[in-house]
A and B are shown apart, each in its own frame.
Chain A
């Protein structure tokens, strides 16, 4: 682990809170002169579960897989544009698999000092299967984790 951070990874999933996280991570990387990687995971585990459970038919799985790839490209491109606004180089990575598993592997591979995540939700149920992927990433990351609250101030400050 290095302080200040040398390599920051930010996870984005298209949610508003993950968009706040990318803005925060860009500001942080800029101030610490760190390298920054934005990662989006195409949740093929969830797709497989849906086919296995009989919720998706084959043609539907293929269609959604294409949609997920388009989602990934769209949000990673958005991250690139935000970084460009702040004159920061950013690496974007598109992965496939179980979100918290592949993110953990990426953090190790990159020897990341910090994982930045969008806001986590309150604990609303004790049922483990209702834990979010963000919760799982926070629990399993091999490096410090920074949780960014979804806050309008971050948007205003970024745009300033």
Chain B
């Protein structure tokens, strides 16, 4: 599994409007909940799982990227929400750089293999500084999709 397998226009939000780490995570989860029609209770469960993972250590990986993620059986298949912020957000990245590109990755517990492969695919996709810059400058979700499909 790779990024293209899960990239969905309805699960891309540009721009994100929140100005802090928790707000960004909430906004990404809300995008998923609205797109997939999850209930408020399911949304809460997803948010709790992502915040619990975040409490183990930040998922800001440097280079302006953060990949909050969690295993959660509320969802049925590996899912990714991609958000771009115009504002730089402090995500406690190891390089001290602020983040503007956010991938929320969720997977049911019985799809560990696909979950791991997707996370690795995101990490590989974002190694190019030029690609990261282009993503940061994307005007809307269609442009984000186009960048990955090029």
Which residues of chain A have a CB within 8 Å of any CB of chain B? 13-15, 42-43, 45-47, 49-50, 53-57, 59-60, 64, 67-68, 70-71, 74, 121, 124-127, 129-133
The docked-state distance in angstroms from the alpha carbon of A46 to that of B1 is 11
Q: How far is the CB of A62 from chain B (nearest CB, A)?
A: 12
Residues of A within 8 A of B5 (CB): 121
Q: How many contacting A-B pairs (Cβ < 8 A)?
A: 81
Chain B interface secondary structure, helix, strand, loop or mixed? helix
Residues of B within 8 A of A124 (CB): 4, 149
Q: Which of B101-117 contact A (CB under 8 A)?
A: 109-117
Which residues of chain B have a CB within 8 Å of any CB of chain A? 1-5, 53, 56-57, 59, 61-62, 67, 69, 94, 109-117, 119-121, 123-125, 127, 148-150
Residues of B within 8 A of A132 (CB): 1-2
Q: Which residue of A lies closest to B3 (CB)?
A: A130
Residue with the greatest number of chain A CB neighbours at <10 A, chosen from B61, B109, B110, B112: B112
Q: Which of A13, A15, A53 is close to B123, meaning CB atoms less than 8 Å apart?
A: A53
Q: Which of A53, A70, A121, A125 is close to B150, meaning CB atoms less than 8 Å apart?
A: A125
Residues of A within 8 A of B125 (CB): 127, 129-130
Q: A55-B123, A121-B5, A132-B2 are in contact. Are A126 and B150 (CB under 8 A)?
A: yes
